[in-house]
Structure 1
Amino acid sequence: MSCSHEHESLLVTSPNKSAQAVADALEKHPITFSLPQQFYSDADVFQVEMEQIFYKEWLFVGITGEIPDNGNFITLDIGDNPITVIRDQNGEVRAFHNTCRHRGSKICLVKQGKVPKLVCPYHQWTYELDGNLLFAGTEMGDDFDKNDYGLHKVNCRVAGGYIFVSLSENPTNIDGFFDDLTHYLEPYDLDNCKVAVESTLIEDANWKLVIENNRECYHCSGNHPELLNTLLEWDDTEDPRASDEFKAQVAAKQAMWEAEGIPYKHVSHGHGLRNRIVRMPLLEGTVSMTIDGKAGCKKLMGRIKNPDLGSMRILHLPNSWSHAMGDHLIAFQVIPLGAQKTQVTTKWIVHKDAVEGVDYDVAQLRQVWDATNVQDRTLAENNQKGINSKAYQPGPYSTTFEFGVVNFIDWFSHTMQSNIKASAEKS
């Protein structure tokens, strides 16, 4: 199949025309080929993607165990939108635009913390943890009504301890995935976990290159020796490359998990398998993604009694994937920062009562994925540099080794076109 339109200009002239040009280009582009150059490098295309995906779809932002008590909060920026996720005075997880209703200053200025009230540092406007304005001072006059100036809410959902937000007023319905995620994460009891350690890498690459790299293990044998100490690259017995030995191993492990009440069956939701969960064994004789394959934490998570749970792989497009094992869980979060710059955060999560230096060693816990993340950053950045060349043109994906990438491009193209169409009809 040829891609004769690979150098086609999108002719950006206005926001609306820009979005329509993007939709038109995607409609003509085959999902079995990498995207036209502008989709990996152009600032205007990137802005359309932010508006149509990251400002509309559900995004993974954290774990309930990170905000265990009333007043605990975490913050992040989604494009130009600072967000605060907080546990309110009644214990409910809420999300707000981190923007004071007075003159717009950011309120929470640190990444994570705990407060009795939300107080704007500029003029001390004070909000209850549920976002209601409590104090604005007598300077606002007798006609000022505090009830009109609560913080702007952000749609927020908790599923199995994972926290998601959507900046849309009417976000996409993915309740089926939320229900499944709640069921599959139940054994881990993420309300009673903690982040043992986390890392953040800034990658000089488009966010889609980061996701594409994650969605295939075609590159693993040549680039990830630490990861392949434990990881089996197949995540489905229907994979055409899966061996009979692998299928037999899966059957034996599934029988064990079934007996212990541990969910494992493959479930997926949405176009292009945007959300999927599956538990797969690790390499025979290993139980965790550590350099020696042994448990990285002696205290297992939640109600889990057996460390040999393989890896439960969770995918949520557009911005997260996870590996959940018996002893710890690793959650990855992707936030685009620019057309060729992406933030990738990794959190290693353990039981809240696990003691560092006794139950786990941080260096051992993070060794494999620290190495893998740096290797992946190099791969994505080299990919970006090559795509920026005038010689680049879309190349074909392998429908066997890179079927996960094809699924991602399918989801991306479908979602962009659908959301752009809906925006045009609304306007």
Structure 2
Amino acid sequence: MNQHDLLNVRHASLNEAKTAMSDLLAKRPSNYSLDAPLYNDPHMFRVDMEEVFQKEWLFVGMTSEVPKKGDYITVEVGQNPVLVVRDGEGNVNAFHNTCSHRGSLICTEHRGKVANLVCPYHQWTYDLKGNLLFAGTEMNQDFDKGQHGLRPAFCKTAGGFIFVCLGKEAPEDGFDEFLETLETYMEPYDAENTKLAAESTMYERANWKLVLENNRECYHCSASHPELLNTLLEWDDTEDPRAPQDFLKHYAEQSAQWDAEGIPHKLKSFGEVQRNRIVRMPLKKDTKVMTIDGSLASNKMLGRIKNPELGSMRILHLPNSWSHMQSDHFIVFRVLPISAQESIVTTKWFVHKDAVEGVDYDPDNLRKVWDATNEQDKVLGERNQLGINSLGYRPGPYSETYEFGVINFLNWYSNTIQRNLKNK
């Protein structure tokens, strides 16, 4: 079989996968898990990549990771390497990390600092806005550098968060409204004046949707997360049907203190079936942050915060991120797919930029709870994947009280895939 025939076979397989996928999603009960191919079929995974990860807004990192001119981070979105860099005017820009000459990677490190962006292959040089500055004297006199700059990706920032979109158009779906509220809710933390204190990258043998499903419920928490439950109250928000009266009283007492300090806390949700949501929830009584014993992890509070008992402000962004904002540090999580049955989960801990490691905070203490929780979730996700791969698997029902967050996620996923397939 020649390359042309092979390409036709691949296109046919992908089109068949799109048709089958659309049919499966159209007929699925909204309160049941997905059919197995949607979790393990490589052709349907490719549809996920094309219709979700190459078209929707993705969380990639925090602006404090690129604090100054020339600071950059890189991220891999499937087969799409992306470069995020701060320019001389303070703007955060995103580009496809591929040279306009012959496609080589330009920035090969996970993070760094440059004066200009120089391709290591043939030294083509770009400025921090992606304009081509130098292509060598070997190009003919008719060569137009203005036509060969880096290919940009859509990029927006708010409240210290960086989002990119690789699509030809950037979707709205209430996204700007979410960013405006995110800016307001993140104001007390002054995220620009934080620094990365610790980072972990975890490889998980599970489909990315299983990683998100696991995150969207705490039905499993009591049996699996003893470290996390030292401080975390599992209720999702004040409207959670499981929330008992003593929790609502605890929330009322805490929120009165937050109101006095001008700290936002009420639930806000945006987009289709709560694609984006922000809510501040108290932690257990007599605990301050998510450490093993509930005591502060850093001696320096973030931003203008005075009250150490701010609970956790939970931020969700589908398809690939959730966060926990606390008084002295915050934690952001990013999920990126590798294959139909492989994902990368990146966790980052941030503290005040003036906090001194070993004096104001201990990185091991800072990360102990979520290192344990991530490892426990990895085991759960991989077992889930193995069971779904079985011939004996069939979709099962979700609890509409304990797993409503999972139902919302899969409804968003299903609607997004079907809409994007129709809009081709």
- TM-score tier by shorter-chain length is over 0.9
**CA deviation after TM superposition for structure 1 residue 91, in Å:** 1.4
For residue 327 of structure 2, what is the amino acid of its counterpart?
Answer: G
Q: Tell me, yes or no, if structure 1 residue 201 matches structure 2 residue 211.
A: no
Is residue 73–residue 86 contact of structure 1 (8 Å, CA) maintained in 2? yes
Does 2:11 match 1:19?
A: no
Matched, 1:252 2:263: no
Trace 1:344-363 onto structure 2 (pairs within 5 A): 344-363=345-364
Residue deviations 1:9-40, cap 9 Å, x none? xx994333321221121000011000000011
Asked if 1:101 is matched to 2:100, the reply is yes
- What residue is the counterpart of 2:324 in the other structure? 323
Contact 1:288 1:310 in 2 (8 A): yes
| C-alpha separation in 2, matches of 1:37 and 1:305 | 49
Partner of 2:163: 164
Aligned to 2:296: 295
Secondary structure at 2:391's aligned position in 1? coil
Aligned identity (percent) is 60
For the pair 1:314 / 2:315, whether they are aligned, the reply is: yes
Cross-structure match for 1:238: 239
- Residue 59 (1) aligns with residue 58 (2): yes
User: How far, CA to CA, are the matches of 2:241 and 2:95 in structure 1?
Assistant: 45
Are 2:6 and 1:30 aligned?
no
Alignment-derived partner of residue 378 in structure 1: 379
C-alpha contact (below 8 Å) 1:20/1:420 kept by paired residues: no
Q: Secondary structure at the match of 1:140?
A: coil
Cα distance between partner residues in 1 of 2:379 and 2:297: 26
Cα offset for 1:389?
0.5
Note the C-alpha offset of 1:149: 0.5
Q: Distance in 2 between matches of 1:411 and 1:338?
A: 21
Equivalent position amino acid for 1:90 in 2: E
Match of 1:139, SS state, is coil
Relative to 1, partners in 2 of residues 1:54 and 1:351: Cα closer, same or farther, differing over 3 Å?
A: same
Once the two structures are superposed, the pairs formed by residues 167-206 of structure 1 within 5 Å of their partners are: 167-173=166-172, 174-206=175-207
Which structure 1 residue ranges, 4+ long, deviate > 6 Å from structure 2? none
Partner-residue secondary structure (3-state), 1:191: helix
2:13–2:43 contact (8 Å) kept in structure 1: no
Q: Following the alignment from structure 1 to structure 2, what is the Cα–Cα distance between the partners of residues 376 and 104?
A: 37
Query: Which one-letter code corresponds to 1:119 in the other structure?
Result: V
Work out the CA distance in 2 between the residues paired with 1:296 and 1:234: 23
1:169-203 Cα offsets, whole Å, 9 max, x none, are 21111111111111111111111111100000000
Would the aligned equivalents of 2:71 and 2:85 in 1 still touch at CA under 8 Å?
yes
Unaligned runs of 5+ in 1: 1-10
| TM-score with structure 2 setting the length | 0.96
2:404 is aligned to 403
The residue matched to 1:271 in structure 2 has which SS?
coil
The residue that corresponds to 2:89 in the other structure is 90
CA offsets 1:214-248 (integer angstroms, 9 cap, x no match): 00000000000000000000021221111100000
Deviation string 1:27-70 (CA, Å, 9 cap, x unpaired) is 00011000000011000000000000000000000001000000
Contact 1:75/1:83 (<8 A) preserved: yes
TM-score, scaled relative to structure 1: 0.96
Map Cα deviations across residues 56-101 of structure 1 (whole Å, 9 max, x no partner). 0000000010000000000011111110000012211000000000
Distance 1:236 1:12 in 2: 45
